[in-house]
A and B are shown apart, each in its own frame.
Chain A
Amino acid sequence: MLSEDDVREILRLIDESPLDELRIETEGFSLHVLRAGASAAEALQRSPVVPAVASASRTAPAGAAPPAAPAPPMREGAVIEAPMLGTFYRAEAPGAKPFVEVGQRVEPDTIVCLIEVMKMMNSVPARAAGTIVEVCAENAALVEYGQPLFVVEAPTG
């Protein structure tokens, strides 16, 4: 993925060129630069690798999974799924107290576990309010993207 410096370098290259408009699309990235007189408008965005026509296509892929989007807040009896593949850790360190136990009340921002991806520890928030009723994954095991980690029951009444 591009760094900020890369983007600056691209803009510099365009700035020194006679071009008025540039569109770059690569995997997971698109850049559109427009020169308007002295001021250049720029639009920088991440985009999934989806052809522009896909949404208009008459043969929409009915069975394809929807593109990734930030998960919406969860409902009652919600499942906290692994937001990434990695090693599931219930506690900060071996032997330490688990972040959460069954019966514990959590808020959406309560950290429930860590997922390690090659030494990078990622904190996973509950993103739901309620009570942990089940721990679905085994400590220190590989969890896949989307795998259920906990079940949270919404508070009643």
Chain B
Amino acid sequence: MSLARVFIANRGEIAVRIVAACRAAGLECVVGASQADLDGLAARQADRVVCIGPPPASESYLRVETIVSAALGSGCDAIHPGYGFLAESPRLAAAAREHGLVFVGPTVEAIELAGDKLAARAAAAAAGLPVVEGRELADAADARRFASDHGYPLMLKAAGGGGGRGIKLVREADELEPAYAVAAAEALAAFGDARLYAERFVAAARHVEVQIAADEHGAVVHLGERDCSVQRRYQKLIEEAPAPALSQATRERLRAAAVSLARAIGYSNVGTVEFIVDATTGGFFFLEVNCRIQVEHPVTEAVTGRDLVREQLEIAAGRPLSFAQQDIAFDGHAIEARLTAEDPANSFMPSPGRLTRFAVPALAGLRVDTHCHDGAVIPPYYDSLMAKLIAHGEDREAATALLLQALEGLEVEGVETNRSLLAGVLEHRDFRSAVVTTRWLEQEAIAA
């Protein structure tokens, strides 16, 4: 089938990115914007903007029926969900399909499988991927049994969670019962599913994920891996490709594991298989599958020279992948920093407001994905991501230097940002020597 007009069910920088991909693919695009985003950059750039509701996401971006009605009513034949919001909602994918719209993403079945973290773990294990010791818990008493078998610390995770949400670290026996109650209640409130599972805690873990692409005709390739170990409260801050400090053998095994899992679950479109790599032993474990374009996809695009969002649209239109595995080559090193409107000096409080100044320096090798500009408003209703700065250099050192230069040359006035934190990480000797693990940022006091 061929596509003509795509409905973009998202906002912010990713909506701008999808508009660009539609242009590259020769497709028209309609942006569904809440009242707060009607004057946003994506809305201005699209062929048409449709107001889908008031500012709160629960009354606009998270409404499946509204999104599908808006796509149908504006004559679109496909919905691109971006990331976040309804990107991994099997309900949106199913409703789109039911109304004859193409959902730019994998099948409903694959999204459901990936969304159920226990089912995904089982599928990964069945496909031969290593999974960290863990299992579903019946209740708090069962959690105690798991603890007595495997010891502390341990992780409690929501079966319906993912993306770093619904995770509790339990350090010792005294913490277990309250943590279990809170985790179960949070899981039910956030995901409508109170099921929890426990996993052994890997103390020194690196977060490494493999980008995959699969068409609807059975072809599956990987586009290398990314390291996203610089995290704060399980949210990624700095990502890079390729992953540093991995042996070539581990790198190859990770990539092969991701491809075999994608094949095993009949995955189509682009996606990511996340792993934790034990920094002490070098062993790795399956974490989860993300059925969407990732925030950090530009680092992979930088080193492979491929347009992943355009590829998503081509795959959704039923075309075969535009590249085979042997066509994927890796060039240099790319690092992305997420600039957010948060105040590191004030417990990372969100800092919404009007940008009286926003300018990024023009530097060779620097890409900036953003919806910000002079006069743009960062509304208080959504996440605080302002821009992604992606530096591509011949090696890690060059990319780091370029990214630091970009952060220094950035002009932002009107809101507080995490710029100083990003620069502090890039300058830190632990980042330079690539020994950062996922809990490093929280343990390491970096002056803001």
B186 within 8 A of A: yes
Main secondary structure of the interface of B (DSSP, over half): mixed
A59 within 8 A of B: yes
Shortest CB-to-CB span from B194 to chain A, Å, is 7
Contact with B along A63-77 (1 / 0, CB 8 A): 111011000000000
Shortest CB-to-CB span from A114 to chain B, Å, is 13
A40 within 8 A of B: no
Q: How far is the CA of A51 from the CA of B342 in the complex (A)?
A: 11
Q: How far is the CA of A26 from the CA of B59 in the complex (A)?
A: 14
Is B65's CB under 8 angstroms from A120's CB?
yes
B332 within 8 A of A: no
Contact with B along A118-152 (1 / 0, CB 8 A): 10100000000000000000000110111100000
Is B73's CB under 8 angstroms from A142's CB?
yes
Q: How far is the CA of A144 from the CA of B50 in the complex (A)?
A: 6
Is B56's CB under 8 angstroms from A54's CB?
no
Main secondary structure of the interface of A (DSSP, over half): loop
B346 to chain A: closest residue by CB: A53
A102 within 8 A of B: no
Shortest CB-to-CB span from A132 to chain B, Å, is 23
Identify which of A50, A68, A142 contacts B69 (C-beta below 8 A).
A142
Identify which of A19, A49, A116, A120 contacts B56 (C-beta below 8 A).
A49
B45 within 8 A of A: no
Q: Given that A86-B69, A117-B69, A118-B95 are contacting pairs, would A50 and B380 also be in contact in the complex, using a CB cutoff of 8 Å?
A: yes
- Chain B residues within 8 Å of A63, by CB: 39, 354, 377
Please classify how large the interface on chain A is, using the bins under 10, 10 to 19, 20 to 34, 35 or more: 35 or more
- Chain A residues within 8 Å of B178, by CB: 17-19
B27 within 8 A of A: no
A84 within 8 A of B: yes
B353 within 8 A of A: yes
B356 to chain A: closest residue by CB: A59
B54 to chain A: closest residue by CB: A68
Identify which of B36, B39, B188, B350 contacts A51 (C-beta below 8 A).
B350
Is A117's CB under 8 angstroms from B57's CB?
no
- Chain A residues within 8 Å of B353, by CB: 57, 59-62
Q: How far is the CA of A55 from the CA of B377 in the complex (A)?
A: 15
- Chain A residues within 8 Å of B185, by CB: 10, 13-14, 22, 24
- Chain A residues within 8 Å of B189, by CB: 2, 6, 10, 24, 26, 29, 31
- Chain A residues within 8 Å of B74, by CB: 142
Q: How far is the CA of A146 from the CA of B62 in the complex (A)?
A: 18
Shortest CB-to-CB span from A85 to chain B, Å, is 5
Q: Given that A19-B178, A53-B350, A117-B65 are contacting pairs, would A28 and B70 also be in contact in the complex, using a CB cutoff of 8 Å?
A: no
Is A14's CB under 8 angstroms from B36's CB?
no
A1 within 8 A of B: yes
B352 within 8 A of A: yes
- Chain B residues within 8 Å of A146, by CB: 35, 51
B148 within 8 A of A: no
Is A13's CB under 8 angstroms from B184's CB?
yes
A27 within 8 A of B: yes
Q: Given that A51-B380, A54-B350, A142-B74 are contacting pairs, would A1 and B66 also be in contact in the complex, using a CB cutoff of 8 Å?
A: no
Is A54's CB under 8 angstroms from B58's CB?
no
Is B58's CB under 8 angstroms from A28's CB?
yes
A51 to chain B: closest residue by CB: B350
B183 to chain A: closest residue by CB: A13
Q: Given that A24-B186, A63-B39, A87-B73 are contacting pairs, would A49 and B415 also be in contact in the complex, using a CB cutoff of 8 Å?
A: no
8 contacts between A and B (CB under 8 A): A24-B189, A28-B56, A48-B58, A61-B353, A63-B354, A67-B55, A85-B50, A144-B51
Instruction: Report the 7 A-B pairs with minimum CB-CB distance, sorted nearest first.
Output: A142-B73, A28-B58, A17-B181, A59-B353, A68-B54, A144-B51, A48-B56
